[in-house]
Amino acid sequence: MTVDRILPSDEAYDLLDLVTELADRELAPRAGDFEQRGVFPRELLRTLGRAGLLGLPYPEEHGGAAQPYEVYLQVLEILASRWLAVAEAVSVHTLSCHPVATFGGEQVRKLLPDMIGGELLGAYCLSEPQGGSDAAALTTRAVPDGGDYVVSGTKAWITHAGNADFYNIFCRTGGPGARGISCLLADAGTPGIVPQAAERTMGLRASPVAQIAFDEARVPTDRLVGAEGEGFRIALSALDSGRLGIAACAVGLAQAALDYATDYARQREQFGRPIIDFQGLGFLLADLATQVSAARALMLAAARLRDAGRPYSTEAAKAKLFATDTAMRVTTDAVQVLGGAGYVADHPVERYMREAKVLQIVEGTNQIQRLVISRSLAR
Ligand SMILES: Cc1cc2nc3c(=O)[nH]c(=O)nc-3n(C[C@H](O)[C@H](O)[C@H](O)COP(=O)(O)OP(=O)(O)OC[C@H]3O[C@@H](n4cnc5c(N)ncnc54)[C@H](O)[C@@H]3O)c2cc1C
């Protein structure tokens, strides 16, 4: 189904056409096979990088494409509708460039063109085995020694662990709580940074996720992003943007499931009629279509606030919450629309359903999004 979009420039229409063509050619035919084998499509990400898709929202002077967030998110949405793991990889990479692009001093900013140039891949290391939602309690420590910080501890659930070229490490340089946290940018080849075996995940199997052990890894002090003690603020700022990326992934996935289920319901006949003609099923699809449109509208409203330089944190939380809950519902109901066929791997909807679940968990669970929204109401 074609989504009717109003975009801010002719360039944006061209970009979305190009992305659609690229996603149809490079992503859609590979997704099922790579997901089944659990292979990370690293080369494909280089292809996207060379097409300029790994630095879309960043300024041209740093090698980005200076696209408004509303355009970048719709690119992600199209990628996600063909292959969620690739869209998520682009979103995580873009999130991983945010600390340096937004808070980095001159020293680290000179690394940006390489980071968003297309050859390198980034990772964002906040979560730990003992602290996910309560990220301010993190315990990975960085101790100054000569011209380095010596980093020790363990990060958990790190997307691109073992495949990334650079890591944003949120670590404790001061006392307890949010104010004792700093952000370091480390090269993946740094001795003492040891990615562990990949987790065996329910879905998104083409997206590598693993713990990373930091065993007295020495990171030069000029790789400090922002000031000492500013790390938690940087982490949350990156997450505000990242949550919009996850919302876009969710909208794309939900659209793919809706399209597949609608197509099936038009063709499948029971009792002598296409099953979409039974009101029980037609109304179900109508509700799903409405939810997908609403999720997209919420995501774009938050993105436009961001593009206008206005506060958008609460709206980003609402968009992430609603879009990912919508993706879970739409993918689950898409399995129902296909009946028995929905439950087998011959059709992609069972994979979509497994993939949707993680979107309700990453970059702040949906309980944490509700916390963000309710706190803003209480203020
Ligand atoms: C596939 C995958 C990829 C990931 N990628 C990354 C990554 O690249 N970088 C990174 O840093 N992290 C990553 N994560 C980690 C993810 O952000 C965390 O899993 C998430 O923040 C939840 O933390 P947790 O798993 O420790 O759960 P916990 O914090 O232990 O939460 C357990 C449950 O308690 C609920 N809960 C916790 N606190 C509250 C509260 N105050 N009120 C109500 N409910 C609450 C949660 O919502 C959840 O349902 C990834 C996770 C997965 C599964």
Q: CA-CA distance, 284 to 329, in Å (whole number)?
A: 11
pLDDT digits (tens, 9 = 90+) for 136-146: 999 999 999 99
Biggest CA-to-CA distance, the chain: 79
pTM: 0.98
Task: Measure 363 CA to ligand 1 centroid, in angstroms.
Answer: 7
Question: 130: Cβ below 6 Å to ligand 1?
Answer: no
CA-closest residue to ligand 1 atom 14? 157
CA-closest residue to ligand 1 atom 31? 133
Label residue 108 by pLDDT band (50, 70, 90): confident
Q: CA-CA distance, 51 to 57, in Å (whole number)?
A: 14
- Answer yes or no: is pLDDT of 327 > 90: yes
* Rounded alpha-carbon distances, angstroms, from residue 303 to 7, 47, 330, 369: 13, 26, 23, 17
Task: Measure 365 CA to ligand 1 centroid, in angstroms.
Answer: 6
- Answer yes or no: is pLDDT of 175 > 90: yes
Task: Measure 314 CA to ligand 1 centroid, in angstroms.
Answer: 19
Helix or strand (DSSP H, E) at 153 = strand 148-159
- Answer yes or no: is pLDDT of 87 > 80: yes
- The mean pLDDT value for 352-379 works out to 98
Question: 133: Cβ below 6 Å to ligand 1?
Answer: yes
Its sign, for the CA torsion 152, 154, 159, 163, is positive
Q: C-alpha angle 287/293/297, rounded to 5°?
A: 140
Label residue 16 by pLDDT band (50, 70, 90): very high
Exposure string of 215-225, with b = 16+ CB inside 10 Å and e = fewer, is eebbbbeebbb
pLDDT of 17? 97
Pocket test for ligand 1, best of 127, 200, 325 (most atoms within 8 A of CB): 127
Task: Measure 366 CA to ligand 1 centroid, in angstroms.
Answer: 9
Backbone angles phi, psi at 193, to 5 degrees: -95, 110
Label residue 2 by pLDDT band (50, 70, 90): confident
Exposure on the CB side of residue 45, measured as CA atoms within 13 A: 29
- Answer yes or no: is pLDDT of 248 > 80: yes
Q: CB–CB of 63/117 below 8 Å?
A: yes
Question: 198: Cβ below 6 Å to ligand 1?
Answer: no
Question: 78: Cβ below 6 Å to ligand 1?
Answer: no
User: Which residues are tagged catalytic?
Assistant: 363
Question: 31: Cβ below 6 Å to ligand 1?
Answer: no
Strands (E), 51-180: 122-125, 141-145, 148-159, 166-172
Its sign, for the CA torsion 107, 110, 114, 115, is positive
Q: CB–CB of 262/276 below 8 Å?
A: yes
3-state secondary structure of 80: helix
Q: CA-CA distance, 166 to 7, in Å (whole number)?
A: 33
- Answer yes or no: is pLDDT of 1 > 90: no
3-state secondary structure of 67: coil
CA-closest residue to ligand 1 atom 9? 158
Q: CA-CA distance, 369 to 205, in Å (whole number)?
A: 25
pLDDT digits (tens, 9 = 90+) for 187-236: 999 999 999 999 999 999 999 999 999 999 999 999 999 999 999 999 99
Radius of gyration for the chain, computed over Cα atoms and rounded to the nearest angstrom: 21
- The mean pLDDT value for 45-72 works out to 95
Task: Measure 67 CA to ligand 1 centroid, in angstroms.
Answer: 30
Its sign, for the CA torsion 304, 243, 95, 257, is negative
Q: CA-CA distance, 38 to 33, in Å (whole number)?
A: 8
pLDDT of 106? 86
CA-closest residue to ligand 1 atom 23? 132
Question: 162: Cβ below 6 Å to ligand 1?
Answer: no
**What are the tokens at 18?**
């190009």
Task: Measure 124 CA to ligand 1 centroid, in angstroms.
Answer: 14
Question: 314: Cβ below 6 Å to ligand 1?
Answer: no
Report the nearest atom of ligand 1 relative to the CA of 127: 11
Its sign, for the CA torsion 90, 95, 96, 102, is positive
Q: Are strands 166-172 and 122-125 parallel, antiparallel or unpaired?
A: parallel
pLDDT of 162? 97
